[in-house]
Amino acid sequence: MSLIDSGWAAWLPNELLDAHAAQLGGSADRRAFRKRLEAGPSDEDRERWERFSMVCPSRIDLPADAEGLTPERADELLDELGLTGQVAEPVELVLTLDHDDLRELERIRSARAVEGVGDADLSGLPSLSDTFGKDVGRNDPCPCGSGKKFKRCHGS
């Protein structure tokens, strides 16, 4: 059973995912992992490593990049993250927002802070407890305005 759930898999660098697969797999997985380390990180690998370095728990001594990463060091990192033992220890995962996400969050927060929002008269709106089409016969036109009979539209 793998200790890496979808949350971890989305954030771990490819090198550490491959190191974990090499620990659980056979000699082919270990050989593929060694070849990956020998080839060095791709641009995508560098970007993923950088993203992980922002959310990595502070107690982990994560190298600045994957250059020169050895299988032994990758195993140590997985062990520090609690992903190699039989019982996974809780690990704090802090998510960061990029500039656009942060701007969107600030826009939502400022919209909530606007005075007068929520003071509108709601008495003219239909009740949420009323059933749609309660007083409509099956062969009457549907109140939604589709032009269909109620029984063929919302009455089914």
Q: What is the pLDDT of residue 133?
A: 61
Instruction: Please give the structure tokens belonging to residue 125.
Output: 């709106």
Q: What is the pLDDT of residue 1?
A: 36
Sign of CA dihedral 118, 122, 125, 129: positive
pTM for the predicted model, two decimal places: 0.49
| H/E element, 85 | none
Sequence-ordered list of residues with C-beta below 8 angstroms from that of 109, at least 6 positions apart, any chain: none
- How far is 118 from 114, CA to CA, in rounded Å? 10
Q: What is the pLDDT of residue 93?
A: 63
Q: Which residues of the chain have pLDDT under 70?
A: 1-9, 85-95, 97, 111-134, 156
Question: Are residues 151 and 142 in contact, defined by beta-carbon separation less than 8 angstroms?
Answer: no
Q: What is the pLDDT of residue 124?
A: 64
Beta bridge partners of 40: none
